[in-house]
């Protein structure tokens, strides 16, 4: 058991949690930020991707204790004053989602890509989204959405 202090979506939070608490569990069950999804037990699907200190990671494969003191951004933290982030707008506009289960992770990964590469090519987008699995869309519209967002950010 230990104290976990994080800044999540700009808000300081502090909670006691057992040492085996995953960051994803901390976000979903302690902070009720259920936008971060859990799709697998093997660190492969990417539904749980969030940003920690500006870099994307799989929150199901990091201990809350291990990122103690960090700044975390989840899908809930992307909007500003009720307005969607350009990446979210682009996913909506270009049908980059169907069931939406993979979407929070896809969007968080894609936002990190654009932080590092402002004008990615199709191949670079596909390579970057290697760790995000989508069962529905066939990826075409996701890639199109990321390209569209790149023109807006």
Q: Does 14 bind other proteins (CB under 8 A)?
A: no
Residue 47: which residues within 8 A CB-CB, separation 6 or more? Answer: 36, 37, 38, 39, 40, 101, 102, 104, 105, 132, 133
Q: How far apart are CA 145 and CA 97, in angstroms?
A: 10
Pick what 45 binds: ligand FES, ligand FAD, other proteins, none; C-beta below 5 to 8 Å, kind-dependent: ligand FES
Number of residues that bind other proteins (CB under 8 A): 28
The residue from 137, 143, 144, 146 that contacts ligand FES (CB under 6 A) is 137
Site string for ligand FES, 16-55 (x = CB under 6 A): ----------------------xxx--xxxxxx-------
Q: How far apart are CA 147 and CA 111, in angstroms?
A: 11
């Amino acid at each position: 058991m230990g104290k976990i202090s994080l800044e999540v979506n700009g808000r300081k939070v502090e909670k006691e949690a057992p040492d085996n608490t995953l960051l994803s569990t901390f976000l979903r069950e302690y902070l009720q930020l259920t936008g971060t999804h859990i799709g697998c037990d093997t660190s492969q699907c990417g539904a749980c991707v969030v940003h920690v200190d500006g870099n994307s990671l799989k929150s199901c494969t990091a201990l809350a204790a291990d990122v103690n003191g960090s700044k975390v951004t989840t899908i809930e933290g992307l909007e500003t004053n009720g307005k969607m982030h350009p990446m979210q707008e682009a996913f909506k506009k270009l049908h980059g989602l169907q069931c939406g289960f993979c979407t929070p992770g896809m969007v968080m990964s894609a936002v990190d890509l654009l932080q590092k590469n402002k004008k990615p090519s199709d191949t670079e987008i596909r390579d970057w989204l290697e760790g995000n699995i989508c069962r529905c869309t066939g990826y075409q519209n996701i890639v199109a959405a990321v390209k569209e967002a790149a023109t807006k950010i």
